[in-house]
Amino acid sequence: MAEEKKKVKAPKLADPVASSIDVASQEMIARSHELGIETIFDRALTMKQCAIGVQGTCCKNCSMGPCRLPLPKAGIEGEDTRKGLCGATANTIAARNFIRMIAGGAAAHSDHGRCVAEIFLSAARKETEAYKIKDFDKLIEVAKYLGVATTVEVDGEELDRDIDEIAVETAEVALGEWGKAEGEVLSVKKAPKARYELWKKMGVIPRNIDREIVEIMHRTHMGVDQDYKNLMKQGTRAALADGWGGSMLATDMQDILFGTPYPLQSEANLGVMKADHVNIVIHGHEPVLSEMIIAVAQSQEMIDYAKKKGAAGIQLSGICCTANEMLQRHGVPLCGTFLQQELAIITGAVDAMVVDIQCIMQNIANVAKCFHTHLITTHPIAKMEQENVIHIEFDEHHAIEDAKRIVKMAIDNFQNRGAEVMIPQHKAPLVAGFGVESTEYHLGGSFRGTYYTLNDNIINGRIRGIAGVVGCNNARTRHNQDHIAICKELIKNDVIVLTTGCTAIACAMEGLLMPEAAATHAGAGLAEVCETVGIPPILHLGSCVDNSRILLAATEVVKAGGLGNDISDLPVAGSAPEWMSEKAISIGHYFVASGVYTIFSNLPTTGAPVFNDYICKEFEELYGGMWGAEQDPIKHAHLMIAHIDKKRKALGIDKARDRVMMDFASRQAL
Amino acid sequence: MSRLIAFAAIQGGYKVVSQAEGAYKKALATYNADTKVGFPNTGYYLPVIYSLFGIKVETLEDLQEPLDIARGLLPPHIKSKNWLPFLGPLLDAGMAGIISFEVIEALRYLNEPDFYLHAEDPDIENGKLWTGAADDTIFRKRGVEFVDGTAPGFAAIVGSAPDPETAKMIIEDYQQRGLYMFLAANHNGTTLIEQLIEAGVQVGWSTRIACFGPDISSAVFAAGFANRVAMAFGGVQPGDYKKILMYNKERVFAFVNALGDVGTEWGVAAAGCVNWGFPTIADTDITQILPTGICTYEHVVSPVSHDEICAKSVEVRGLKTLVSDVDIACSFGPAYEGERVRGADLHAQCGGGKTQCTELVKMAAIGDIEDGKVILEGPDLDGIKEGGTFPLGIFVQIAGREFQTDFEPIIERQIHHLVNYIQGVMHIGQRDISWVRISKAAIEKGFTLKDIGVVLHAKFHQDFGNIVDKVQITLYTKKADVDKLTATARSNYKTRDARVDNMTDEDVETYYSCTLCQSFAPNHVCSVSPERTGLCGAYNWMDCKASFEINPTGPNQPIEKGECLDTKLGQWKGVNDFIYKASRGAVTHYNFYSMVIDPMTTCGCCECIAAMLPGCNGVMTVGRDYAGETPCGMKFTTLAGVMGGGASSPGFVGHSKFNITQGKFILGDGGLLRMVWMPKQLKEELKDRIVARGEAMGVPGLYDMIADETVGLTEEEIMPFLKEKGHPALDMESLV
């Protein structure tokens, strides 16, 4: 081993403790150095970020460029004379780049959604054996908002419509949302009325999901839209097509096919892998793949097969949002966050890492090469060039066979493990699986379930407000540090946190998704509510595509009453402290456009101060929500809290509520 | 930790559901599946199960479905680490417990038919302490008090106090606040009821202390009472559980007091009650649940000391109760209204045929009287030996810039209940036939006759502040003075009666609305005219007028009757416009004088309900005190269920007892001459007035022509009687 290490050319190695706050990850980074395997943490030291790209003012949309418009260190006094060759201003360039990121993110979520819609249609038409409709209540709910009749009139009597008919029509209508010729995206109407009306007034209701993305690509082509406000209008429309369209449909259809999540227990971190088990790690985003692998891996046939091959069983775990999807519906443990994908393989215990789409680092193929691990790509749109990568294309008509092949391949690979297995013995218990439906139930049971319980405790001040903290990991910041610092600061100040994506995994690893965390980390008011309901102070709402659940939860809070008429009236704020992907920008922007103050650690807009002010300040006037940026996690959290307090004041709930003692006259007035 | 309570309560849920299932299985082994089960005299089946799920449990096997629901509601047990959310599951377990309790009680009624005494008050001498489920007669009578505000809510108290004195202290505090107390369960074998009896407290519905039962399961009768309020007065449909429970949270101001150690079964009961918005206040140290939401304020508060538990409980429920600040030696409050002074407890009495006892309220000039002055003309009680009698004249003089002579009888009528509110003093009757009985206990506490004056002065100011500026009371105890007052009073009564009796709907341009019960029956608006008193029997036109003067923005508003659209049936444009608005368009019009064509709407609190008997070409009416069958095929409670909720139901109408003999009673349909059947008791109660009204309508023998339950309970049974008596309805034009 030591000899191997000497061969490595990398001059700089990442300091494990400086790279991550997570002990398991630290151990694995140190292990990577022992084994001489380069990881993203090391590369982050050697490769610096492009200073102009970070500012958002590098234009490479035509071959006269790239035109680079850095902001002078001293800033700009007087007129900003910076221009690209064509004359494009810093505002135009930054806005074009920004909305191209929205297009990228919206495309990723929505194309994922389309894939689910296609499988839903196959299932509805009974063209696939593997996928079936699981949640009929959700189907009816989705059918209703898509305008699909759920009842039929027979001889003047209203009867339930045939469920198969409803399913087929719902799937057809849903799939149409991506490319229909006329009308508007139907799910947008699920927003509070005031919000929908505002969007209508602003002209940003998406027409269909694909079109808004295409239009961004058109408008940002050389020499088309050169007004940053007009560009952001389209950026807004595309972001809404994602959050209130593609992502929302993806979540809803996943719930129909795989079940609506309900709270369940599990655990998180690399320590969930078991040395004596066949370890299959699934990484990516679509539950379409993982659902089948779960079904197969839990079958007696495969367990017996694994035992025959000398393993004690099969241990599934997940990375990134696939992990969250498997967790919230089946309690499959979380292996790690985005930045742990290489580290998982470095344990030497992964017999197969199965990936589909999004956030899969190409370097895992290089890491896998150092071990016996099979890296299996499954999606036709996501392949890798390295020769050790195995591609097994997954299609809904042969899903079970494909899954069997993959699981079998992993089991067969168990015996090829080297002696170098080292699984960090760190993991934390968690409770996950919160959603719009389950939250309503848990706030009052089958008879009195209502979001009003939450509102009441916001009004009485036990809960100061609600924060959505979501997003990725980013190798430019210490792994998980900001997620945890911000979340802890928020809950300490009685702000309940809703989380998804890699933030959710980070919180889980830190033990913050355990109900016990309320007593140790939350402020007295929030802790009391958590103890009453039996919930952690941070609620896991699923994958990044499930951020739509947060939008709908906010809508339910509006509907329950007492906190204004629109999402922008609520004492809420959003954050993505360690963001890195284009999806994060799309998510951030649909939250902003939905009326939420949303802060990132940094924004790729600083090179264009006027444009930056437009989205960070003027947007509040237009949409009630705006962007913000703050690197320091504690300041970051307090910007959110200050906004929450501002909203509390506007609602008149900043002071203690008087206890109303009802006398007969006040009962009369009811 | 709330988790510990939740853990215990969910365990309790399993225990109770299993108990109920076991009892059911055992019953199935003993009785046929189609054996009738249910609570006595109710149209609401097992009221919790019926109200929440719409399930009508009538036979033994009908219990299967609610038991299945209960079993299905039981959540997994709570883990000790990394537990799942438990508030929703806890509330579900609570509901499973409540359902099971109701099943257990239904089976108790089946297995031990004599376990509960079917009466308002227990029979202590014979050891019958438990009166079980409130039947519909009690429910309606008492429910009205929730509606009209005299009872602000109820305390469901389980367990027992450390000693009888503490029990008495707590109960008397609630009594003074006017609350009902629903008592159930025992603590280590001791019940609160037994403690109260030992401490000499009169228990039973009459003193607002309902003796439900000795086991925790009997606490379910409180939930059954509350849900019937939602259905009967609130018009909420059975099965609409969300509305039923929210109605209770918002309008029924009830809470639970747990006296003693809270075990798993009490825990599940308390959790169940949270579904209703009823919090638990305990005297032992259990985990508090302070965040709000399901209940209006806190959910569980503990430990609360016994001298603070009443004040704390109403505060937690968000209820304002008035403890009348009347400076007399005895306790004072509406809960003592129904208390009796029996022979053995009697110290002295006046009236009641033994001596004269007369009451009179008169208006006085503002300079002629002194406010707060109570004059006793004659000896007080100290000279009277135990068992003695004395004459009494209560003469109240009232002065006020807004006071009118029309208000005299209204104020005078208050004397009855106000004197009754004094603990240990009983008042019966009114005017010159009053009867006051004073107990030994009251004398021991230091009661003097002057206290009557103190009470009347304080309460008249409190209740009628807008019209009363000065009140002076003179109490006469010398025979000559009393006789003189009686003579004056009688001439006053005569003048008054003539004025009121002769007042007709045509005499006035203004009727009054009454929405007194709208907090309970949100869709119902009463219209009151001189010849159509409020259907609850509490408010006549003059009362409404006075009430409007006293509180111009209150529940009684003037209605300009406007153009008369139908003289015969009694319909006015102004009234129609008013009810259209007040019912938010649900009711466009109705007739005052007809029950056949678009009759007035009815709430759940009417005194009587009249129904058509087409076979007899007449009508019947039945009062809420009568529990039996009637010729229309429905008991009162069924009729009220069909009628209540603010709908106009042709063929039926709710009305007051007094209205039966008023001139315009269903005059458009033929008036009182249509009346072919009434319960005997009601008929006898109104005998003089029916006789007089019959004579006035040209049928002198009408009283004897009206059938009652001794004649028959079907149209066929009473028809020969009507024919034999030559009842006028038989010759009238066809009713339909």
Task: Tell me: pLDDT of B266 over 80.
Answer: yes
Is B275's CB within 8 Å of A447's CB? yes
**pLDDT score for B496:** 79
Is A447's CB within 8 Å of B52's CB? yes
Residue B97 DSSP code: H
Helix count and strand count (H, E) for chain B: 22, 25
Fold match flag (A90-258 vs A432-651): no
Is A454's CB within 8 Å of B83's CB? no
Q: How close, in Å, is residue B149 to chain A by CA atoms? A: 6
Q: Name the closest residue on chain A to residue B554, using Cα atoms.
A: A665
Comparing CB atoms, the residue among A431, A532, A666 nearest residue B291 is A532
Neighbours of B125 (CB within 10 A): 6
Comparing CB atoms, the residue among B85, B315, B555 nearest residue A668 is B555
Task: Give B488-532 pLDDT, tens digit per residue.
Answer: 999 998 887 777 778 899 989 999 988 766 666 666 778 899 999
Nearest of B202, B205, B131 to residue B172 by alpha carbon: B202
Burial class (CB within 10 angstroms; exposed 0-12, middle 13-18, buried 19+) of A610:
middle
**pLDDT score for B248:** 94
**pLDDT score for B519:** 60
Comparing CB atoms, the residue among A457, A515, A668 nearest residue B292 is A457
> Rounded to whole angstroms, what are the CA distances from A620 to A568, A598, A617, A626, A628?
9, 11, 6, 5, 11
**pLDDT score for B321:** 83
CA angle A363, A366, A370 (to 5 degrees): 140
**pLDDT score for A2:** 47
Task: Give B353-367 pLDDT, tens digit per residue.
Answer: 889 999 999 999 988
Nearest of A79, A487, A425, A88 to residue A269 by alpha carbon: A425
Nearest of A105, A251, A289 to residue A174 by alpha carbon: A251
Asked if B155 contacts B257 with a C-beta cutoff of 8 angstroms, the reply is yes
Asked if B63 contacts B37 with a C-beta cutoff of 8 angstroms, the reply is yes
Confidence of residue B645 (pLDDT cuts 50, 70, 90): low
Nearest of B478, B530, B473 to residue B506 by alpha carbon: B530
A444 touches chain B (CB under 8 A): yes
What type of residue is A434? F
Can you list the positions of beta strands (E) in A333-412? 334-336, 350-355, 374-377, 389-391
Asked if A618 contacts A434 with a C-beta cutoff of 8 angstroms, the reply is no
Comparing CB atoms, the residue among A449, A516, A660 nearest residue B88 is A449
ipTM summary value: 0.92
In angstroms, how far is CA B630 from the centroid of its own chain?
23
Q: Which DSSP string corresponds to B685-725?
A: HTHHHHHHHHHHTT-TTHHHHSB-TTT-SSHHHHHHHHHHH
Q: Please report, rounded to a whole number, the percentage of residues in chain B having pLDDT higher than 70.
A: 98
Task: Say how far apart CA B534 and CA B539 lie, in whole Å.
Answer: 5
**pLDDT score for B479:** 94
Asked if B52 contacts B132 with a C-beta cutoff of 8 angstroms, the reply is no
Task: Say how far apart CA A383 and CA A377 lie, in whole Å.
Answer: 6
A266 touches chain B (CB under 8 A): no
Least confident of A184-188, A327-331, B284-288: B284-288
A108 touches chain B (CB under 8 A): no
Query: What is the number of CB-based contacts under 8 A between chain A and chain B?
Result: 130
Burial state string for A29-61 with b = 16 or more CB within 10 A and e = fewer than 16:
bbbbbebbbbbbbbebbeeeeeebbbbbbbbeb
Q: Which two tokens stand for residue A605?
A: 């807009």
Task: Give B592-606 pLDDT, tens digit per residue.
Answer: 999 999 998 877 678
Mean pLDDT for the stretch of residues A489-493: 98
Q: Name the closest residue on chain B to residue A443, using Cα atoms.
A: B88
**pLDDT score for B644:** 63
Q: Thinking of the domain B334-494, which architecture would CATH place it in? A: 2-Layer Sandwich (3.30)
Contacts A664 to B, Cβ<8 Å:
149, 152, 519
Confidence of residue B539 (pLDDT cuts 50, 70, 90): confident
**pLDDT score for A667:** 67
Task: Say how far apart CA B673 and CA B678 lie, in whole Å.
Answer: 13
Which helix (H) or strand (E) is B375 found in, with range? strand B374-377
Does domain B505-731 correspond to CATH entry 3.10.310.40?
A: no
Is A445's CB within 8 Å of B90's CB? yes
Higher-pLDDT residue of A8, B617: B617
Residue A515 DSSP code: T
**pLDDT score for A5:** 52
Mean pLDDT for the stretch of residues B330-352: 88
Confidence of residue B583 (pLDDT cuts 50, 70, 90): confident
Mean pLDDT for the stretch of residues B601-612: 84
Which helix (H) or strand (E) is B735 found in, with range? none
Beta bridge partners of B212: none
The domain made up of A432-651 has a fold known as: Rossmann fold (3.40.50)
Task: Give A312-370 pLDDT, tens digit per residue.
Answer: 999 999 999 999 999 999 999 999 999 999 999 999 999 999 999 999 999 999 999 99
**pLDDT score for A487:** 98
**pLDDT score for B543:** 82
Burial class (CB within 10 angstroms; exposed 0-12, middle 13-18, buried 19+) of B389:
middle
Q: Which two tokens stand for residue B469?
A: 């500026």
Could you state, in order of their start, the residue ranges of all structural domains in chain A?
Answer: 90-258, 270-414, 432-651
Could you state, in order of their start, the residue ranges of all structural domains in chain B?
Answer: 1-323, 334-494, 505-731
Indicate the CATH number for domain B1-323. Answer: 3.40.50.2030
Task: Tell me: pLDDT of B646 over 70.
Answer: no
Is A534's CB within 8 Å of B519's CB? no
Task: Tell me: pLDDT of B85 over 50.
Answer: yes
Task: Say how far apart CA A495 and CA A538 lie, in whole Å.
Answer: 9
Burial state string for B713-722 with b = 16 or more CB within 10 A and e = fewer than 16:
bebeebbebb
Burial state string for A310-324 with b = 16 or more CB within 10 A and e = fewer than 16:
ebeebbbbbbbbbbb
Mean pLDDT for the stretch of residues B123-129: 92
Task: Give B182-205 pLDDT, tens digit per residue.
Answer: 999 999 999 999 999 999 999 999
The domain made up of A90-258 has a fold known as: Substrate Binding Domain Of Dnak; Chain:A; Domain 2 (1.20.1270)
**pLDDT score for B323:** 73
In angstroms, how far is CA A185 from the centroid of its own chain?
21
Indicate the CATH number for domain A270-414. Answer: 3.40.50.2030
Mean pLDDT for the stretch of residues A388-415: 94
Task: Give B370-400 pLDDT, tens digit per residue.
Answer: 999 999 999 999 888 888 999 999 999 999 8
Helix ranges restricted to H, A397-516? 399-414, 436-442, 445-448, 452-459, 481-492, 501-509
Task: Tell me: pLDDT of A458 over 60.
Answer: yes
Mean pLDDT for the stretch of residues B177-184: 93
Confidence of residue A1 (pLDDT cuts 50, 70, 90): very low
Q: How close, in Å, is residue A327 to chain B by CA atoms? A: 14
Task: Say how far apart CA B714 and CA B727 lie, in whole Å.
Answer: 16
Asked if A434 contacts B83 with a C-beta cutoff of 8 angstroms, the reply is no
Nearest of B637, B726, B628 to residue B681 by alpha carbon: B628
Nearest of A97, A98, A80, A102 to residue A89 by alpha carbon: A80
pTM of the shown model: 0.84
Confidence of residue A11 (pLDDT cuts 50, 70, 90): low
What type of residue is A427? K
A657 touches chain B (CB under 8 A): no
Backbone angles phi, psi at B425, to 5 degrees: -125, 135
Beta bridge partners of B476: B377, B393
Q: Which two tokens stand for residue A319?
A: 């990375």
Length of chain A: 670
Q: How close, in Å, is residue B27 to chain A by CA atoms? A: 29
Task: Tell me: pLDDT of B680 over 80.
Answer: yes
Task: Give B548-571 pLDDT, tens digit per residue.
Answer: 887 787 778 899 999 999 999 999
**pLDDT score for B413:** 83
A562 touches chain B (CB under 8 A): no
Nearest of B564, B546, B565 to residue B556 by alpha carbon: B546
